[in-house]
Amino acid sequence: MDEKDRQIIRALQRNGRATNLEIAAEVNLSPSPCLRRLRLLEESGAIQGYRAVVDQRLYGLPVTVFLRVRLERHSAETVRQFETRIRALDEVLECHLMTGPADYLLRVVVAGLDDYEDFIRNRIHPIGGIGSIDSSFVYGSVKNTGVFPLI
């Protein structure tokens, strides 16, 4: 991937609905080579898909919670079971394997505190093998971008 490919990706990250003509103009390419590069980025898997960026509050999910989860054991079966169950939970938007005191960091969205309690009691606790859960509620966001930095 070269600098021109990165420029195309950044243009798409800023506006996923931009036309090829708009992207080509932004990255100083003619439309045909720009489209060829875009298709190669898609075929290589560098561009994995396109999404709408939605206001979660307007959607009805105003509460974001970060969960730090520590497993009791790190056997292959415990890890496999946890990760399989987490992948199936729609409320979990992200799950990252971490270093440090927690094994996983999850980003969860829910409609309210009652929904969060229900999520923990009826969706997380039944997974089993969890040693601890530490929750942090988001009350504001300073920055939230999907545009990668230049390298």
Do the domain assignments include residue 74?
Answer: yes
The boundaries of the domain holding residue 9 are: 3-44
Type and span of the H or E element at 149: none
State the pLDDT at residue 129.
Answer: 94
**Model confidence at 40, in pLDDT bands (50, 70, 90)?**
very high
The rounded mean pLDDT for the chain is 96
Residues 6+ apart with CB under 8 A from 96: 104, 105, 106
State the pLDDT at residue 1.
Answer: 93
Do the domain assignments include residue 148?
Answer: no
Q: 19: domain CATH number?
A: 1.10.10.10
Does residue 21 contact residue 31 with C-beta atoms inside 8 Å? Answer: yes
Do the domain assignments include residue 133?
Answer: yes
Does residue 107 contact residue 94 with C-beta atoms inside 8 Å? Answer: yes
Q: What is the three-state SS of 45-60? A: CCCCCCCCCCCHHHHC
- Check whether 36 has a pLDDT greater than 90: yes
Q: 89: domain CATH number?
A: 3.30.70.920
Instruction: Examine the domain organization and report whether 95 and 31 are in the same domain.
Output: no
Instruction: Examine the domain organization and report whether 126 and 67 are in the same domain.
Output: yes
Instruction: Examine the domain organization and report whether 36 and 75 are in the same domain.
Output: no
The dihedrals phi and psi of 23, each to the nearest 5 degrees, come to -65, -45
Instruction: Examine the domain organization and report whether 16 and 87 are in the same domain.
Output: no
Query: What mean pLDDT comes out for the span 79-88?
Result: 97
Q: What is the pLDDT of residues 116-140, one digit of tens each?
A: 999 999 999 999 899 999 999 999 9
Question: What b/e readout covers 88-123, taking b as 16+ CB neighbours within 10 angstroms?
Answer: eeebbeebeeeeeebbbbbebbbeeeeebeebbeeb
Instruction: Examine the domain organization and report whether 67 and 103 are in the same domain.
Output: yes
State the pLDDT at residue 150.
Answer: 87
